[in-house]
Amino acid sequence: MTSAISAIQRSALGFVLVLVLFGALPLVISSYQMSIANEILIFALLAMSIDVLAGYAGRTSLGHGALFGASTYVVIYWTSVYGGSAWVGCLLGVIAATLIATVFAAFAVRVSGVYFLLLTLALGMIVWGVCLRWTSVTGGENGIRGVGRPDLIANPTVFYYATLAVVLLMTFLMWRFVRSPFGLTLRGIRDSESRMRSLGYGTSVHMFVAFIVTGFFAGVAGALYALFNNFVSPSTVQLSQSVEGLLMAIIGGVGTLFGSFIGAAAIILLENVVSAYTARWQMVLGFTFIGTMIFAPEGILGALRWLISRKRWRRSSNIVTNDSNTKGGTKWIADNF
Amino acid sequence: MASLNLVQILNGLTLAALLFIVASGFTLIFGLLRIVNLAHGALYLFGGYIGYSVTVGTGNFVLGLLASMLFVAFLGLVIDQGLLRFVRGFVLREVLLTLGVAFVLNDIALVIWGGDTFSVQIPAALRGAVRFAGIYYPTYRLFVLLLGILVFIALWLLLNRTRLGALIRAGVDDAEMVEAMGINIRRVFLATSMLGASLAGLGGTIGGAFLTLYPTADSEILVFALAIVIIGGSGSLVGAAVGALLVGMLNTIGQVMFPELAYFVIFGPMAAILAFRPLGLFGRA
Amino acid sequence: MDRRQFLKATSLTVAVSAAGTLATPRIVRAADPIRIGLMAPLSGVVAAGGREIVEGFNMYWEEHGKQSGGRAVEVIIEDDAGNPDTALQKARRLVEQAKVDFLFGNLLANTGLAVASYVKGNGVPYFIPVIAADDLTQRNRIRNVIRVAGYTASQMPRPLADWALKQGHKRIATISQDYTFGHEQCGGFAQVFTEGGGQIVSQLWNPLNTADFSPYIGQLGNLKVDAIFAMELGADASRFMKQYSDFGLKGQIPLLGAQNFTDQSVIRTLGEECDGIISSAHFAEGSDNPVTQKFVKAYSAKYNKMPSLYGFSHYSGAMWVDQVINQLKGDISNRDVFIDAVLKSQLTNSPLGRPVRFDDYGNPVYDVYIRKVVKNKDGKYWNVPIQTYPAVSQFWTYKPEEYLKNPPFSRDYQGIKK
């Protein structure tokens, strides 16, 4: 199965690239730039959680930003207001995000397409509304200030590598998840739900679990963000968080997993560069959205993959390649997304 | 201690009237073109700013209304023909593209009019308040209520008594069938797009007089419009009216009685409907 | 820090460039410019005030040749969008990437608190002429966060409450924006009002950026009160005043405002809906003090509008810091020395027309005017003093140690005497 081996090889290459590139960065860049790279890693994880649901399960969500931010709130609240340990706080944050994802999933399991998008948007807004108005707990407009990281990871460089390690671990777990039998079933559902149902697969259960799993990963990203930013406010859970996360996933390439790193880097670097010269970042972001949708909805990595698989298809014209991770996958993206 | 009285009820109704004007455009576009136009809020705000500038420049409120409706209809045309054309048929791409348009429009408005808050000038006849049933209520808000009702009647007549309206209704039900019958459905789509957009522009100028215009007003009104159209059902005028009444009243009462739950009171029902009855109260598949 | 950067730059051959990063070593010489990071909300509900922060600040430096203590002054401006997350991000960028010498500005309390918690960690001086969160000079004092030409939220409304009692008002309701600044202003008012025998009948709280005040006005109209104390700022203030007038309450129930409520940035675009509203503040653009009038005229000539609190505060703040830097002859490399010098200093020649100095807790003491909004001879509205309360500190008539034993103001604790 040459195509299967090369898929694993490609993923291994992705891991190594991320490890080497991000791992070597602190040696050559300033501490401020390292904090930017740190931010990129955290948001890549958020984008990945959205990507798994959108690219492999076929459901585009605008609620994962709220899950991300909810985790941040719990971590900061636990360490700052309650005075607990940061490690326990992170655990609680991830649990909270997963629990809220369970509630979201219960609502969203039978819905797809645009309705799914709007439903997750509405649920995300409820979370935002709670964070904004439940002033006694969340501090309302003021937000909550953190108390700094525990000594072990207080140093920015140490924390950077810790983030890298956690993000790579989560990426690996997600990779295993999408390549597992469960993940393959998900892709089958994505490609044709009716067929899978007639084959006897519980499509709703699969969607339910998939949502919760991606919620877990968004929660991990949120916990990292709490340690990174040392501050949380209603902006952390607001709709724009979900929108930017989705855009990062799209620009990198929906359904490519590693594309999220590219997407997160592209958006965050673009914002830093653009903001240094002009205040018109919102317009640039808008045009990026428009341009991506018209010219490159498969994203950077998606377009690359499609080009490569097309070349291979032409070269071996007698063999039908049906690896749904490449041609089939990008075809689904191209047709449906 | 909060009390629900005639003033509060009127507050809810007048807000509902404005929301209906905006949501009616949204529901037509969603119902017929199947596009969730996330730029609808930006069209509202842009229209409002245009209405403001024209009213200030000419001193005429009606001119401001007309200018905003026409200009935003034109914007709708440009967006449809210039951008959406390239992603026809790909629902999610269309939605996200309109989101990008919303960002761009919002920023352009910020550049042109700045971050200050503006209030559209209303004609002297509509200023002040009327006294009735023991209360004192702003005349302008009553005008908005009346206008909302008029827009409903006008749209109902359009949809049910004109050929275009029949085509729109048929298109909402089954666009392919209409095309198969030899009708240029593209033109119907375009007309609907422009009509929907002009309603957003109208809403902007009307709303700009009592809710004022400011940089985040677009996302606020969009979110209301979404909730209304989801609850009421896409493509349904009656649905938009019922949805607007519900949302308008719930929002006003929510702020009075349960300030903590103000957002939940709107998004809770929206989420529930999407989960259990995605077609909404009056929508059809 | 400088040496390590120098070593890195010389030992590595790979040069990575990112916009605005200085990879070259920074050895401070006397000829180096002083870099100031100014943050203000240039978009959002208080965009008008934010712009005036920038205008007032720039006006001072332009009047004084853009230099201080023999060094050139560079002002780098960032928009905090009225949002604490953005403010934090911009503060980081200014300190870590643009390497400013100190930070200035912000408007909304929540943005100021976010930046304050950031500078607490790195000791960068942060000057806040407008951020009025009480605890920054009370229970949670941060040494390098300094209120040059600033004030605490609860400082200004207290004289107004006293004045209200003297007018014979016994029952008052409050409506305020629901965040720290609102809680503290209302708290200061409620505390003094109830201690003097008055009653706070009801307290309404609205979120920032409320477009439709009708539900709140509907409630207020139903209460039997002698007056209403309103704490709204920016667009919320103009909308509230308009809608209050639309619903006919303007003639019926007198309106008392917090200082930002009738600030120039609000009333200059309004008509008679703002006429006659009473507020209290240390600055009144209609004051007949000659120094104040000179400033108002100069500001009006330059920007075509009368100065607001935001413009005035940042002009005075720049003035204060400039005076200290001149005293130190431009050497602000030792942060401790710089901060000490500021806290011990006195602001002279400010547009208030009288010197200002800090109390023992780092907050200035002012004479506070009770002001009324009236039309001036050009037909524009401005605030004119009708009474003065001298030497009002952040502690009013209380002993600081006793006062600090009370909890900070919040929605639940409004200092109301039972």
Q: Is C141 on the interface with A (CB under 8 A)?
A: no
Q: Rounded to a whole number, what is the distance in Å from the CA of C9 to chain A's nearest CA?
A: 9
Contacting residues of C for B137, CB less than 8 Å apart: 247
CB distance C109 to C87 below 8 Å: no
- Report the distance separating Cα A218 and Cα A65, nearest Å: 8
pLDDT digits (tens, 9 = 90+) for A310-327: 776 666 544 444 444 444
CATH for C226: 3.40.50.2300
Number of H helices, E strands in chain B: 11, 2
Task: Domains for chain A: give ranges and CATH numbers.
Answer: 29-336 (1.10.3470)
Arithmetic mean of pLDDT, A174-179: 92
Q: Is residue C277 part of a domain?
A: yes
Contacting residues of B for C247, CB less than 8 Å apart: 7, 129, 136-138
Arithmetic mean of pLDDT, B153-182: 87
- Rounded to the nearest 10 degrees, the angle between the axes of helix C180-195 and helix C109-122 is 110
Per the listing, tokens 């120094």 go with C291
Contact B93 A297 (CB under 8 A): yes
Chains linked to B by 3 or more Cβ pairs within 8 Å: A, C
Contacting residues of C for B11, CB less than 8 Å apart: 212, 214-215, 218
pLDDT at B164 over 80: yes
pLDDT digits (tens, 9 = 90+) for B3-49: 568 888 999 999 999 999 999 999 999 988 888 899 999 999 999 99
ipTM of the predicted assembly exceeds 0.95: no
- Report the distance separating Cα A62 and Cα B95, nearest Å: 12
- Report the distance separating Cα C113 and Cα C133, nearest Å: 8
pLDDT at B285 over 80: no
- Report the distance separating Cα C374 and Cα C276, nearest Å: 6
C82: left (phi over 0), alpha (psi -120 to 50) or beta: left
Name the β-bridge partners of C104: C38, C127
Q: Is residue C416 part of a domain?
A: no
pLDDT of residue C8: 44
Alpha helices in A29-155 (DSSP H): 31-51, 64-76, 86-108, 113-133, 135-138
Per the listing, tokens 């709708």 go with B76
Q: Is residue C307 part of a domain?
A: no
Residue A138 neighbours by CB under 8 Å, 6+ apart: A73, A77, A130, A131, A132, A144, A234
Give the distance between the most distant pair of CA atoms in chain A: 67
Closest CA to C222 of A40, A263, A139, B256: B256
Q: Is residue C164 part of a domain?
A: yes
- Report the distance separating Cα A219 and Cα A215, nearest Å: 6
Structure tokens at C4: 């390590």
Residue A99 neighbours by CB under 8 Å, 6+ apart: none
CB distance A155 to A229 below 8 Å: no
Structure tokens at A59: 């459901």
Chains linked to A by 3 or more Cβ pairs within 8 Å: B, C
User: Closest to A276 (Cβ–Cβ): which among C12, C20, C411?
Assistant: C20
Name the pairing type of β-strands B129-132 and C67-68: unpaired
For an interface test with B, the pick among A282, A288, A295, A336 (most B C-beta atoms closer than 10 Å) comes out as A282
- Report the distance separating Cα A287 and Cα B87, nearest Å: 15
**Least-confidence region, from A7-16, C76-85, C369-378:** A7-16
- Report the distance separating Cα C102 and Cα C55, nearest Å: 19
Maximum mean pLDDT: which of A24-28, A71-75, C75-79 = A71-75
pLDDT digits (tens, 9 = 90+) for A280-310: 888 999 999 899 999 888 888 878 877 777 7
Contact A117 B110 (CB under 8 A): no
pLDDT at A24 over 50: yes
Name the β-bridge partners of C385: C371
Q: Where are the beta strands (DSSP E) in A131-262?
A: 144-145, 231-232
Residue A153 neighbours by CB under 8 Å, 6+ apart: A159, A162, A227
pLDDT of residue C14: 37
Contact A290 B268 (CB under 8 A): no
pLDDT at A185 over 70: yes
- Report the distance separating Cα B281 and Cα C264, nearest Å: 49
Find, in chain C, the residue whose alpha carbon is nearest to that of B250.
C215
* C66: three-class secondary structure by DSSP: coil
Arithmetic mean of pLDDT, C30-53: 86
pLDDT of residue C30: 55
Name the pairing type of β-strands C34-40 and C356-357: unpaired
Name the β-bridge partners of C34: C73
Q: Is residue C237 part of a domain?
A: yes
Contact C243 B210 (CB under 8 A): yes
Q: Rounded to a whole number, what is the distance in Å from the CA of C214 to chain A's nearest CA?
A: 19
Q: Is B116 on the interface with C (CB under 8 A)?
A: yes
Q: Is residue C273 part of a domain?
A: yes
pLDDT digits (tens, 9 = 90+) for C212-232: 898 899 889 888 899 999 999
- Report the distance separating Cα B218 and Cα C145, nearest Å: 36
Contacting residues of C for A280, CB less than 8 Å apart: none
CB distance C73 to C34 below 8 Å: yes
Arithmetic mean of pLDDT, C343-356: 88
Contact B87 A119 (CB under 8 A): no
C400: left (phi over 0), alpha (psi -120 to 50) or beta: alpha
C69: left (phi over 0), alpha (psi -120 to 50) or beta: left
B 132-191 residues inside an 8 A Cβ radius of C: 136-138, 140-141
Average pLDDT, rounded, for chain C: 87
Instruction: Provide the domain limits for residue C200.
Output: 157-287+367-403
CA dist B96 to A250, A289, B37, B84, B171, Å? Answer: 10, 7, 9, 11, 23
CB distance A86 to A75 below 8 Å: yes
What does C68-112 look like in DSSP terms, one character per residue? ETTEEEEEEEEE-TT-HHHHHHHHHIIIIIS--SEEEE--SHHHH
Q: Rounded to a whole number, what is the distance in Å from the CA of B147 to chain A's nearest CA?
A: 29
pLDDT of residue C28: 52
CA within 13 Å, CB half, A229? 32
pLDDT of residue A330: 53
Maximum mean pLDDT: which of B30-39, C2-11, C21-30 = B30-39
Residue C2 neighbours by CB under 8 Å, 6+ apart: C25, C26, C27
B 109-168 residues inside an 8 A Cβ radius of A: 110-111
Number of other CB atoms surrounding residue C62 within 10 Å: 10
Q: Rounded to a whole number, what is the distance in Å from the CA of A118 to chain B's nearest CA?
A: 8
- Report the distance separating Cα C223 and Cα C202, nearest Å: 8
Q: Is A140 on the interface with B (CB under 8 A)?
A: no
pLDDT at C371 over 80: yes
Burial of A73 (0-12, 13-18, 19+ CB in 10 A): buried
Arithmetic mean of pLDDT, B147-175: 90
Q: Is residue C97 part of a domain?
A: no
Q: Is C65 on the interface with A (CB under 8 A)?
A: no
Q: Is B90 on the interface with A (CB under 8 A)?
A: yes
Name the β-bridge partners of C278: C256, C372
CB distance B51 to B120 below 8 Å: yes
Q: Torsions phi, psi of C345, nearest 5?
A: -80, 175
Per the listing, tokens 């007032």 go with C56
Name the pairing type of β-strands C255-257 and C278-281: parallel
Maximum mean pLDDT: which of A195-209, B14-28, B246-260, C69-83 = B14-28
- Report the distance separating Cα A52 and Cα B130, nearest Å: 58
- C294's enclosing H/E stretch is helix C290-303
**Least-confidence region, from A66-70, C79-83, C339-343:** C79-83
Residue type, A103: V
Q: Where are the beta strands (DSSP E) in chain B?
A: 129-132, 135-138
CA dist A305 to A7, A59, A300, A302, C138, Å? Answer: 11, 21, 9, 5, 60
CA within 13 Å, CB half, A221? 34
Evaluated on CA atoms C80, C85, C88, C93, the torsion sign reads negative
| C337 vs A316, residue with greater confidence | C337
Tally of domains within chain C: 1
CA dist C50 to C82, C107, C310, Å? Answer: 9, 7, 7
Q: Is residue C212 part of a domain?
A: yes
Per-residue three-class SS string for A272-308: HHHHHHCCCHHHHHHHHHHHHHHHCCCHHHHHHHHHH
CB pairs under 8 A between B and C: 89
Structure tokens at C303: 């920007």
pLDDT at C350 over 90: no
Evaluated on CA atoms A256, A257, A262, A265, the torsion sign reads positive
pLDDT of residue B216: 83
pLDDT-derived band at C81 (thresholds 50, 70, 90) equals confident
Arithmetic mean of pLDDT, C243-268: 90
CA within 13 Å, CB half, A182? 16
- Report the distance separating Cα A215 and Cα A64, nearest Å: 7
Contacting residues of A for C14, CB less than 8 Å apart: 28
Contact C219 B137 (CB under 8 A): no
CB distance B103 to A289 below 8 Å: yes
pLDDT at A41 over 50: yes
pLDDT of residue B132: 84
